[in-house]
């Protein structure tokens, strides 16, 4: 990120009804994640002029339609990132993956938000090498964001 360049604002919207989401917590996470991820923005990223990122949480049925339409692949996926600044996430896929990996739906959603942000920052996961590099940055950012969240939640001494 260039000196003086600010990350875009970010808004998280939940439009699905299957899974209860703590939206305010995800919003806080997304704001911190966006600020930290934007420091890793690559020059070739076409997202320099994005004023706002919108994260939309949807269900599997809607995700399957988007996945087919934009990727040509049938069935739902976890996250789709559009370079105009939209990250679309499937809550139902997050819940399934969380169960499979012994995690929580909220943690999966956090991971998907970070993953989408890194795509907007110019990272890709098309090859094994690029995927490994992206996951390394993603894991470090997740740790950094969670550490910052924890500090912000601590009661301050008066």
Contact 118, 40 (CB under 8 A): yes
Instruction: Name all domains of the chain by residue range, CATH numbers in brackets.
Output: 9-153 (3.40.390.30)
Dump pLDDT digits (tens) for 103-158: 999 999 999 999 999 999 999 998 999 999 999 999 999 999 999 988 877 665 55
Contact 142, 62 (CB under 8 A): no
CA pair distance 29, 49, nearest whole angstrom: 22
* Lookup result for tokens 């550490």: 147
Dump pLDDT digits (tens) for 3-59: 446 899 999 999 999 999 999 999 999 999 999 999 888 755 566 578 999 999 999
């Amino acid at each position: 990120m260039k000196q003086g360049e600010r990350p875009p604002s970010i808004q998280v919207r939940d439009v699905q009804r299957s899974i209860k989401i703590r939206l305010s917590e995800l919003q806080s996470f997304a704001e911190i994640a966006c600020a930290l991820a934007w420091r890793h923005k690559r020059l070739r990223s076409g997202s320099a002029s994005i004023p706002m990122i919108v994260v939309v949480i949807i269900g599997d049925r809607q995700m399957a339609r988007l996945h087919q339409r934009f990727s040509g692949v049938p069935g739902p996926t976890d996250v789709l990132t559009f370079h105009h600044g939209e990250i679309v996430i499937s809550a139902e896929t997050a819940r399934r993956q969380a169960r499979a990996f012994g995690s929580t739906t909220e943690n999966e959603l956090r991971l998907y938000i970070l993953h989408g942000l890194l795509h907007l920052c110019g990272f890709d996961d098309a090859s094994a090498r690029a995927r490994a590099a992206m996951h390394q940055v993603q894991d470090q950012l997740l740790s950094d964001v969670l550490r910052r969240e924890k500090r912000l939640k601590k009661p301050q001494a008066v």
